[in-house]
Amino acid sequence: MAPLLEVDDLRVEFGRGRETASVLNGVSYHVDEGETLAVLGESGSGKSVTAQTVMGILDTPPGRITGGSVRFRGEELLGADPERRRLLRGESMAMIFQDALSALNPVYSVGFQIAEQFRFRRGMSRKDAMVKAAEMLDLVKIPNAKQRVKEYPHQFSGGMRQRAMIAMSLALDPELLIADEPTTALDVTVQAQIMELLDELRRERGMGLILITHDLGVVAEVADRIAVMYAGRIVEHTDAASLYAHPAHPYTRGLMDSVPRVDDVAGAPLRPIPGLPPSLSAIPDGCPFHPRCAHAVDVCTDEVPALRELGSGHQAACHFAERFVAEGPDRPTTHE
Ligand code: SF4
Ligand code: MG
């Protein structure tokens, strides 16, 4: 059976001529029904641009899709009729963002905004649509949903607003939900509650879920598979357990060293990855990570490492991936 979503060798550029930035340089991933894929990386790695291209909401210009394909249940979406794309949004795939406050309109009640989908896409009356909106708020565990459905966004806490956004995104029962940094603006306790909610809804509805994040800690407990992005490429991709047990790419290892580990009672010192991600209009030759990698040798500055198979579906784009996998996770990695 075809995966729910299949992104294959996706390429996106911004700008023209010498100002061209290669934002996606051949990104491939897939999501199956009922599965959670976490897409992990620092800001500017291409996580959101990939998601926007999947959703058909990438601004073109300045963006330009220069290659690859995006298939939903086998149907090619790149180059598809805009009307078809619009129909799929909401009905088949939906997306939520970091900033729920700016995504909600301050002058309408939360319920009214959820109800609009039932009115305009399901032809319901205003009254019936509001009843459905309250049901949706109840689904995302907002207490007193029947009362709160009439309240305005500013009357909701940050966590409640994100719940309302989730309710809105699920109104038309999509098969795929993309959550782009859904908890970044929230405090740690609320983050965990939202993650738990997303995980529960995914399970109950058999949805595919893509969780985009820069924080490995946030997805540790809910991801089935993890794709790590760097400079518009996937640099490592495997199931979550293998990623934690045998991280292959020095960038992944650096990300792991820079977040507190749940199982680390002794509290090992956190080591942020030195340096910054490259500018996408000046990606370094060879391995794009080499200026920040403590293991870089001559071949790393000369040859772009291909994504290679390490067995059991584990892939990494590092010339020495096999060696790092064999070493296990606990060796000092990024800067000895
Ligand atoms: Fe580091 Fe070289 Fe591997 Fe790139 S290919 S991650 S520079 S060791
Ligand atoms: Mg982003």
CB of 171 within 6 A of ligand 1: the answer is: no
Q: Report the atom number in ligand 1 closest to the C-alpha of 305.
A: 5
Residue 61 has pLDDT above 70, yes or no: yes
Ligand 2 centroid, distance to 127 Cα (angstroms): 37
CB of 294 within 6 A of ligand 1: the answer is: no
Ligand 2 centroid, distance to 221 Cα (angstroms): 21
d(Cα 11, Cα 66) in Å, to the nearest integer? 5
Q: What is the pLDDT of residues 323-332, one digit of tens each?
A: 998 887 765 4
d(Cα 238, Cα 236) in Å, to the nearest integer? 7
Closest ligand (CA of 178): 2
Residue 264 has pLDDT above 60, yes or no: no
Ligand 2 centroid, distance to 197 Cα (angstroms): 21
CB of 231 within 6 A of ligand 1: the answer is: no
pLDDT of residue 262: 58
306 assigned to some structural domain: yes
Q: Tell me 38's DSSP state.
A: E
pLDDT of residue 193: 93
Ligand 2 centroid, distance to 103 Cα (angstroms): 15
Ligand 1 centroid, distance to 244 Cα (angstroms): 19
Nearest CA to ligand 1 atom 3: 318
336 assigned to some structural domain: no
Q: What is the mean pLDDT of residues 122-136?
A: 97
Q: What is the pLDDT of residues 130-150, one digit of tens each?
A: 999 999 999 999 999 999 999
Closest ligand (CA of 44): 2
Amino acid letter for position 122: R
Ligand 1 centroid, distance to 64 Cα (angstroms): 29
Q: What is the pLDDT of residues 78-121, one digit of tens each?
A: 999 999 999 999 999 999 988 887 889 999 999 999 999 999 99
- Residue 8: strand, helix, or coil: strand
pLDDT of residue 336: 39
Ligand 2 centroid, distance to 70 Cα (angstroms): 19
pTM beyond 0.90: yes
CB of 321 within 6 A of ligand 1: the answer is: no
Closest ligand (CA of 295): 1
CATH code at 25? Answer: 3.40.50.300
By residue range, what is the domain housing residue 289?
5-104+176-193+202-327
Residue 248 has pLDDT above 90, yes or no: yes
Mutational pocket test of ligand 1: of 255, 292, 318, 336, the residue with most ligand atoms within 8 Å of the beta carbon:
318
What is the DSSP track for 164-220?
A: HHHHHHHTT--SEEEEESTTTTS-HHHHHHHHHHHHHHHHHHT-EEEEEES-HHHHT
320 assigned to some structural domain: yes
Q: ipTM higher than 0.85? A: yes
pLDDT of residue 119: 97
Ligand 2 centroid, distance to 185 Cα (angstroms): 13
CB of 253 within 6 A of ligand 1: the answer is: no
Instruction: Calculate helix-pair angle for 158-170, 188-205, nearest 10 degrees.
Output: 20
Q: Which residue has the higher pLDDT, 19 or 228?
A: 228
Rg of the chain over all Cα atoms, to the nearest angstrom? 21
121 assigned to some structural domain: no
pLDDT of residue 125: 97
Count of domains for the chain: 1
pLDDT of residue 197: 96
* CA-to-CA dists, residue 151 to 108, 110, 133, 136, 182, angstroms: 9, 6, 12, 14, 22
CB of 233 within 6 A of ligand 1: the answer is: no
Average pLDDT, the chain: 92
Residue 269 has pLDDT above 80, yes or no: no
159 assigned to some structural domain: no
In percent, how much of the chain has pLDDT > 90?
Answer: 76
Nearest CA to ligand 1 atom 7: 290
**Which sign does the torsion angle of CA 335, 216, 327, 293 carry?**
negative
pLDDT of residue 263: 58
215 assigned to some structural domain: yes
CB of 293 within 6 A of ligand 1: the answer is: yes
258 assigned to some structural domain: yes
Residue 335 has pLDDT above 50, yes or no: no
